[in-house]
């Protein structure tokens, strides 16, 4: 069992234990498990653990083909769920867009203000004007009754078919950089084009996430595949670590989206 943990970071142990229990229940009790919405790193862990043996299988769905946050359906290997089994609902936020604008952080903040945990919501989709979000169907009625304001703006909700989901456009580009170490502050400094001192302040101030989890340690060691984000600077993925230069600096490739 301990060999499983060596493939992951220590701080992921609690989630790994939960996944192992879901896998056990699906295999021994033939009881499918539908999870909350998981971020891509959590999905990767579920796929890695559940996919190790053929007695259980994990499927993922987040409402749309391009969803980032998805629910997992862990079940015996002989079963294949339908989209309905994932129990997701797509809402469109109706607001006076001629007079006010509504941003992703405002929508998320207002949803979290309902007292529900983040796992009950999937992606928040916007094209700059229209706004939609995915939610777990089991909290749909509660959301419909209580989500009627974003900031000071009154809103209403309308349920949409999955085919009507907004497809967000993300413009990724690659950046080759040389950094003194693989520490979080060093890589973010290269990505955000800000001083180490400024980046360290942002990290300690809770403005930085690694793999969708807040990370307040500037010395955190980054690995290939890590997704980084800093408020105000956008997101970056550490695509590759290409080795060291003659001056003992690391050559890296970042994928960036703003």
- Say what the pTM is: 0.79
- Residue 67: name the closest of 214, 166, 195 by CA: 166
Give me the tens of pLDDT residue by residue for the chain, a chain 258 residues long.
557 787 788 889 999 999 999 999 998 888 899 999 999 999 999 999 997 557 899 999 998 878 899 999 999 888 889 999 999 999 999 999 888 888 888 999 999 999 999 999 999 998 878 999 999 999 999 999 999 999 899 999 999 998 899 987 666 789 999 999 999 999 999 999 999 999 999 999 999 999 988 999 999 999 999 999 998 888 899 999 999 999 999 999 999 875
Cα–Cα nearest to 134, from 67, 82, 224, 83: 67
Task: Let me know how many helices (H) and strands (E) the chain has, helices first.
Answer: 7, 15
Please tell me the distance from the alpha carbon of residue 225 to that of residue 254, in angstroms, as a whole number.
Answer: 10
73 touches 87 (CB < 8 A)? no
Phi and psi angles of residue 18, each rounded to the nearest 5 degrees, phi first: -65, -45
State both tokens at 206: 């809770």
């Amino acid at each position: 069992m301990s060999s499983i943990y060596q493939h992951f970071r220590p701080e992921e142990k609690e989630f790994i234990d939960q996944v192992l229990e879901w896998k056990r229940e699906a295999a021994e009790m033939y009881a499918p498990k539908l999870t909350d919405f998981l971020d891509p790193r959590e999905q990767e862990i579920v796929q890695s653990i559940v996919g190790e043996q053929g007695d259980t299988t994990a499927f993922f769905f987040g409402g749309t083909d391009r969803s980032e946050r998805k629910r997992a359906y862990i079940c015996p290997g002989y079963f294949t769920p339908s989209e309905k089994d994932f129990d997701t609902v797509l809402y469109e936020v109706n607001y006076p867009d001629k007079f006010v604008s509504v941003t992703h952080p405002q929508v998320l903040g207002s949803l979290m203000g309902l007292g529900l945990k983040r796992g009950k919501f999937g992606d928040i989709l916007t094209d700059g004007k229209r706004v939609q979000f995915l939610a777990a169907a089991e909290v749909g009625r509660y959301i419909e009754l209580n989500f009627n304001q974003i900031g000071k703006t009154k809103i209403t909700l309308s349920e949409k078919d999955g085919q009507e989901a907004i497809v967000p456009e993300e413009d990724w580009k690659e950046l080759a950089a040389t950094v003194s170490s693989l520490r979080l502050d060093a890589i973010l400094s290269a990505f955000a084009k800000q001083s180490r001192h400024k980046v360290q302040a942002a990290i300690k101030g809770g403005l930085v996430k690694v793999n969708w989890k807040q990370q307040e340690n500037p010395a955190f060691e980054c690995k290939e595949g890590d997704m980084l984000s800093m408020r105000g600077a956008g997101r970056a993925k550490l695509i590759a670590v290409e080795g060291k230069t003659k001056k003992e600096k690391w050559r890296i490739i970042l994928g960036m989206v703003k």
